[in-house]
Structure 1
Amino acid sequence: MLANWFPNVASIWPQFVQATWETLYMTFWSAIIAGVLGLGTGIFLVVTQPGGINADPPFYSFLDKVVNLLRSVPFIILLAVMAPVTKYIVGTTVGTPAALVPLIVGIFPFYARQVQNALLSIEPSVIEAAQAMGSSTTEIIFRIYLRECLPDIIRVSVVTIISLLGLTTMAGAIGSGGLGDIAISVGYARFENDVTIAALLVILVLVFMTQIIGDWVARRVERL
């Protein structure tokens, strides 16, 4: 059946499977590393903002501008700008491992801002009550911010992962591998439209699965 509907995909099946695994590899490791950086940055933005529990306006202003700057750079340009840094860290500017550096830099500011917005949904009166009871900054972060906003953080994480999937396909334009690479270098360049369509379908399946699983986890957390 595959040979009937997607003849060109069938002829390069091992390569197509490898591209799928490369997309999963880039998405997984970028999501993990950028998730840690973005979560930490989002927490710092909330804590150090004017009126925050550990207000530091100069630091907040600097961090806020860095996040805005990185979010403003189009990803395709970021790929080129980050090339020397990627070369220094990974030793090459092509291939799947090399794509991780610009992917992380490109997605973590987006996630940080999403986390910041999620944490700001906590009523200030709740924070003031915790401070009045003598809770430390660390206790407020873990027991109130992260605990109360966990469902929202899960939801914004899902949005970020879906955006990250889109970025991995864009990274394929410069030879990072993955489904984006095979869709462009094989499907588009050779006019083998079934390869492009198959890559698109796999990406859509990954997006739908991510959304379904994320929504399910968020609902379960809300009931705890």
Structure 2
Amino acid sequence: MLKTIRSIFIALACMLAAPAMAQTTQSYSTYVLGLPAASTLTGTEKIATIQGGASKYTTPQQILALLVGSGDCTISSSIVCTKTNGVNFSSLATTAPGTGVVTALGNNTNAAGGLVTSPVPVANGGTGDTGTGWTTFTPSPSCGTATFTVASARSKTIGKTTFIELNMTITALGTCTNSITIALPNTAASSAVISGANLRTGGFAYFNFGTGGTSATCILSAGAAYTVNDNVVYSGVYENQ
């Protein structure tokens, strides 16, 4: 009996003296340094992997097949894809025009579904303008036997719109009365009135033309007669053909 009690006390003492068992977690990271360039791969190299908890080896070709589908692409210093989901690319996908995102690249420039140049042509809804400045045109003013000095005659056409500016002075009146004819820089697509002023008098001036016109008639306010040294200046915009 005494022997049994002594054994129990010894067991209890051992339990109290023993340290508690602690759980430990080990964190680690493994880095592979100095991997070869992708261009040096042949597709048959062995790469360590874990599948279902078991250590395995795989190849770059197997990994590629997992990502893009078996047989669609191959790797040998570069990745080359010739299929989509096992179906070979057709010639339409790379050469001839067609429909879809890829085949549209084969269409002619500025054609329906094709690429568009810059600037966008008028036929494709653009202006065709490259940002060039205005250019000089020849107005050839005419009124009886009058003579003129043209200080400036400039225009700029963007698509179907023409901007125009003209500054001229009568240096000799001759038989000129109240109507001066000038040439337009192009053919008008619709009738228009371009406003201006007689800088000598401060009065109103304008010139007008009709649809299909290539010339315009310059008139002073209320049809007043021109006099020598009248300096008329016009600026405006109209629709051209």
* TM-score normalised according to structure 1 size: 0.23
Q: Which structure has the larger Rg over C-alpha atoms?
A: 2
TM-score for the superposition, normalised by structure 2: 0.22
Higher relative contact order (CA 8 A, sep 6+): 1
Instruction: Choose between structure 1 and 2: higher strand proportion.
Output: 2
